[in-house]
Amino acid sequence: MYKIVAKKDLASTIKLFEIYAPRVAKKAMPGQFVILRLDEKGERIPLTITDWSKEKGTVTVVVLEAGKTTKKLASMKVGDYILNFVGPLGKPAEIKNYGTVVFVGGGVGIALIYPEVRAFKEAGNKIITIIGARTKDLLIFEEELAKLSDELYIATDDGSKGHHGFVSDLLKKLLDEGKHIDLVVAVGPVIMMKVISNLTKPYGIKTIVSLNPIMVDGTGMCGSCRVIVGGETKFTCVDGPEFDGHLVDFDNLIARNQRYLEEEKLALERMKTHG
């Protein structure tokens, strides 16, 4: 059992949890994730590690309420326990001094780029951060990222803050201006990562994306999370989650992520009626 030691509402549908899991905290690295299961009848879901403290033995995750399990987790309180919490899983991000690195975070992906931004900053990179959300209330980690970034740009779909439009518009502008960029890291909805990868490809700028397919065990034994990268089948949980965005078959990933849409809807509706 893993105790929730702190909780913070980052936005109406986005919550941060600090969970006591010393074994995971001791090993966590930027880019890795955990799998958790709330209770005996629960499913296993992956969540990216947003922060950790070896001293306190805690691991921080940020969760966007999207379906039954994430809504149930979001309703949990400090002092509650999560039944299973396993990690750190996946390969850590490759952190070194590239020069100028652009981080693009979309939606809950903004929280997920945070540990990498910090690590890349410490490695001596110049950091340009672009974050975007549907509306300004969903912009999270803005202050933290502003502190770490040499430049920070904001986009909202409804224009309530920063650029009225998408994060990809802002990256395009930088590219059009001829900004020197050595690496782009994009984390967010699949469609956003696809657009960003397509944008940087003609410029030959190395682009890393963090993929979010459906997972079960997270240890490489089932292949539910398989993706096509450079024409080869890879398991995101052990070979990723980060891959070269120019080699990922995003359309296959989009299709595969729709596999259980009906069941997910049913589970959510049932939760509303059964509590």
Partner 1 sequence: MAKKILEKKVPMPEQSPKERIKNFDEVALGYTVEMAVEEAKRCLQCKPKEGQKICVDGCPVGVNIPAFIKCIRDRNFDEAIRIIKEKNNLPAICGRVCPYERQCEMFCTLGKKFEPVAIGRLERFVADWELSKGVKIPEKPQPNGKKVAVVGSGPAGLTVAADLAKLGYEVTIFEALHKPGGVLVYGIPEFRLPKRIVEAEVEYIKKLGVNIVCDVVVGKTVTVDELLEEFDAVFIGTGAGLPNWMNIPGENLNGVYSANEFLTRVNLMKAYLFPEYDTPIKIGKKVATIGGGNVAMDCARTALRLGAEESYIVYRRSEKEMPARLEEIERAKEEGVIFKLLTLPIRFIGDEKGWVKQMECVKMKLGEPDSSGRRKPIPIPGSEFLMDVDTVIVAIGQSPNPLIPKTTPDLKTGRKGEILVDEKQKTSKAKVFAGGDITTGDATVIAAMGAGKRAAQAIHEFLSGKS
DSSP conformational letter for 165: S
Instruction: Determine, following the binding rule CB under 8 A, whether residue 123 of this chain makes contact with partner 1.
Output: no
Instruction: Determine, following the binding rule CB under 8 A, whether residue 266 of this chain makes contact with partner 1.
Output: yes
Coil, helix or strand at residue 237: helix
Rank residues 203 and 260 by Cβ distance to partner 1 and give the closer one: 260
Site string for partner 1, 220-259 (x = CB under 8 A): xxxxx-xxx----x----x-------------x--xx-xx
Q: Rounded distance, CA 121 to CA 180, Å?
A: 17
Residue among 26, 86, 88, 16 nearest 57 (CA): 26
Instruction: Determine, following the binding rule CB under 8 A, whether residue 42 of this chain makes contact with partner 1.
Output: yes
CA 184 to each of CA 42, 171, 221, 246, 249: distance values in angstroms, whole numbers, following the listed order:
36, 10, 31, 11, 18
DSSP bridge pairs for 7: 17
DSSP assignment of 46-81, as one string? EEEEEEEETTTTEEEEEEE--SHHHHHHHT--TT-E
Instruction: Determine, following the binding rule CB under 8 A, whether residue 24 of this chain makes contact with partner 1.
Output: yes
Instruction: Determine, following the binding rule CB under 8 A, whether residue 118 of this chain makes contact with partner 1.
Output: no
Region near partner 1 per CB under 8 A, out of 51-59, 99-107, 158-166, 261-269: 261-269
Applying CB under 8 A, among 3, 5, 13, 44 the residue interacting with partner 1 is 44
- Written as six digits, the tokens of 209 are 């994306």
Task: Give the CA count within 13 Å in the CB-facing half-sphere of 253.
Answer: 28
Burial of 268 (0-12, 13-18, 19+ CB in 10 A): middle
**By the 8 A CB rule, do 128 and 210 touch?**
no
Q: How far is the CB of 264 from partner 1 (least distance, A)?
A: 7
Q: How far is the CB of 261 from partner 1 (least distance, A)?
A: 10
Instruction: Determine, following the binding rule CB under 8 A, whether residue 219 of this chain makes contact with partner 1.
Output: yes
Rank residues 75 and 258 by Cβ distance to partner 1 and give the closer one: 258
Residue among 34, 51, 48 nearest 188 (CA): 48
Instruction: Determine, following the binding rule CB under 8 A, whether residue 66 of this chain makes contact with partner 1.
Output: no
Applying CB under 8 A, among 8, 23, 179, 201 the residue interacting with partner 1 is 23
Region near partner 1 per CB under 8 A, out of 84-92, 107-115, 118-126, 240-248: 84-92
Tokens 């909805």 sit on residue: 189
Applying CB under 8 A, among 3, 7, 37, 163 the residue interacting with partner 1 is 37
Residues near partner 1, by CB under 8 A: 23-24, 27, 37, 41-44, 68-69, 83-89, 216-217, 219-224, 226-228, 233, 238, 252, 255-256, 258-260, 263-264, 266-267, 270
